[in-house]
Structure 1
């Protein structure tokens, strides 16, 4: 039985290039250590670069403004894992991701702002009506 250290890394990024750079830096550090290592990739999360000029983004901004009388804050964050899979398999599909306010995500303290659920629901219904 040999002594070993096991690293499990879960990488997500908006751009594949950024994931490749991080992967290469980590591999370089392992090589510099002089230790023997084996590398196995179990799961690869696809990237999902934002398209701020898409039609669905434009419609979403308009619907949000009409519904809530304020500008929507559009930003790219490291979420939307499900969208990245759809984007990978349907590259021409326009999509957005939105949801209620989550605090402490992926931690024992994860919680949801209940009041934000109604706002998201109303936005979803209005958006779907405008897309049909």
Structure 2
């Protein structure tokens, strides 16, 4: 059985407070470590993404002082593909979702939609508008 570890992930927009909150709360309740992963198309060496991630995580670390957090910035295109790779050894993948209309989703795709259909890691999609996250367990588990 893999070590209990949650992965909270975010793509180029500002990290999702809903996803980060659920990830910290889940890690705290289950006594697991948390890896916060920020996916960005920026080039390696660009400190802006790491600074943004550290800034967002600071308040959550103060609120959940007993949760061990590792933060990583992953550079590259194809956020859904990168998240699937990064979550391979996690016990839970937590992502936020932005509301997109049908045309936006058709043109740009939806990272959370792709993850729901392709993740082999249990997945929690947190929406800022929802009071309860949508959880997904991979088929066959």
Normalised by the size of structure 2, how large is the TM-score? 0.27
Higher-RCO chain (CA-CA 8 Å, sequence separation at least 6): 2
Larger fraction in strand: 2
Give me the TM-score of the superposition, normalised by structure 1: 0.28
Bigger share in helix: 1
